[in-house]
Amino acid sequence: MRRFLLAGLMLLAIWQGLSWLVRSPVLPDPPTVGRVFVQALGGRLGEHMLVSAYRVVGAMVLAGLVGSLLGLVIGHHPRWNALAAPAIYLTYPIPKIVFLPLVMLFLGVGDAAKIFLIALILFFQVLVVVRDAAASVRFELVLSVRSLGATRWQLLRYIYLPACLPAVLTGLRVSTGTAIAVLFLTESFATQAGLGYYILVETWGRMAYPEMYAGVLAMSLLGMGLYLVLDRLERRLCGWLTAGGGP
């Protein structure tokens, strides 16, 4: 904890130093931005942040659920895995962001299109790691639990689900940065809510620089918050991975 605090203070110091050096309204100092951030958070900025959080969290939940479900189904069965592998191999490297115009044509300019696009990108990350985690479950483990009388559903519940949970959470956690970046892009036009809109249109467009920095700060905090929550969840739900004190 103290190390994180120290790192934070160091970043603030660098920012402060740069703003002293540059001496331009384009780079206001941390105290100014901090003040504006606190003020704005109670007003419009808070609303924009909530909208953005809704979109990105919704997309993560959607991608997490669909991606892990499909990954589990494909990964736990060698034949299905062999069948699906070429399709995943071909579609995985496609930059899904280029589907943005298409998605908007089909789903309109509302939240649905934004959530869908972020979810689509996260979905592949989750799908691949969950499939691999499910495929690497030891066959002996499956046999021994089957010998206890487990049905196929119980094998999923007692073996594949817990075996894949760390992969789902890690997959989502390392994709947080990507998710926020795509969020920013989808909010940069054809909308009047969200942090992307706030930063690009409401503040940058009006040269309200301290407010713009407050927006950047809000977006960073959103990403950091999600990262922390996922990290905590992983430690909480997958305690067996980090449980120390060997035999």
Residues lying near another protein in the complex (CB under 8 A) are found at 138, 140-141, 143-150, 154, 158-159, 162-163, 165, 238-240, 243-247
Tally of residues, the chain? 247
The nearest distance, CB 70 to another protein, in angstroms, is 22
Residue entry with tokens 């479900």 = 69
Instruction: State which residue, 93 or 245, has the beta carbon closest to another protein.
Output: 245
Residues 133, 139, 141, 144, CA torsion sign: positive
Query: Which residues have CB under 8 Å from 214's CB, separation 6+?
Result: 33, 36, 37, 40, 41, 45, 203
The nearest distance, CB 147 to another protein, in angstroms, is 4
The nearest distance, CB 127 to another protein, in angstroms, is 22
Instruction: State which residue, 16 or 144, has the beta carbon closest to another protein.
Output: 144
Query: Which residues have CB under 8 Å from 207's CB, separation 6+?
Result: none
CA distances from 212 to 37, 45, 199, 204, 218 (A): 9, 10, 5, 6, 10
Instruction: State which residue, 90 or 243, has the beta carbon closest to another protein.
Output: 243
Which CB contacts under 8 angstroms, 24+ apart, belong to 33-40? 33/210, 33/213, 33/214, 33/217, 36/210, 36/211, 36/213, 36/214, 37/213, 37/214, 37/217, 37/218, 40/211, 40/214
The nearest distance, CB 148 to another protein, in angstroms, is 4
Instruction: State which residue, 82 or 94, has the beta carbon closest to another protein.
Output: 82
Instruction: State which residue, 43 or 149, has the beta carbon closest to another protein.
Output: 149
The nearest distance, CB 153 to another protein, in angstroms, is 11
Instruction: State which residue, 90 or 148, has the beta carbon closest to another protein.
Output: 148
The nearest distance, CB 128 to another protein, in angstroms, is 21
What is the 3-state secondary structure of 100-129? HHHHHHHHCCCHHHHHHHHHHHHHHHHHHH
